[in-house]
Amino acid sequence: METTQEKISLLKEMIAFALIDGELHDREYDFIEIVAYELGVDKETLHKLYENKSEVSVIKDELNRICQFYRLALLMRSDDVLHERERVKINEIGINMGLDPYAMKRVLRLIEDSPNHMVDGETLIRLFSEQLN
């Protein structure tokens, strides 16, 4: 991750995605807070993002787009309720990021089938890389 603005944009996208079903669950909030901490964004800045709705910038690096898609997929599963609007929106976001729809579908299926809703990094990268060969 290069700039603070890119980190803020990632968090804005996650917040918007978490609110797609009309409410922010505690587990979704906690997950976003953990990601913010990992990105080095303080709580005060994070809380301001919930108030300010603005444009999200495009992620240029493919690896960062894959990571963001994965974060969104984990966020989607964090409340243990999968809404149809979340399923539609995550596919729309992935397509807009330029990610391969087949790889996205496989990642989402692996997350759903996994007991802890996690996919290891190597598998994640492999799934998206297969389409490049």
pTM (2 decimals)? Answer: 0.76
Rounded to 5, what percent of the chain is helix, strand, coil?
A: 70, 0, 30
What is the Cα–Cα distance from 49 to 18, expressed in whole angstroms? 13
pLDDT at 52: 76
User: From residue 62, how far is each of 17, 87, 123 by CA, in Å?
Assistant: 20, 21, 16
60-78 pLDDT tens trace:
888 889 999 999 999 988 8
H or E element, residue 101: helix 101-113
Over range 79-106, report the average pLDDT.
88
Lookup: tokens for 15: 């917040």
User: From residue 40, how far is each of 61, 71, 88, 127, 129 by CA, in Å?
Assistant: 19, 16, 30, 28, 29
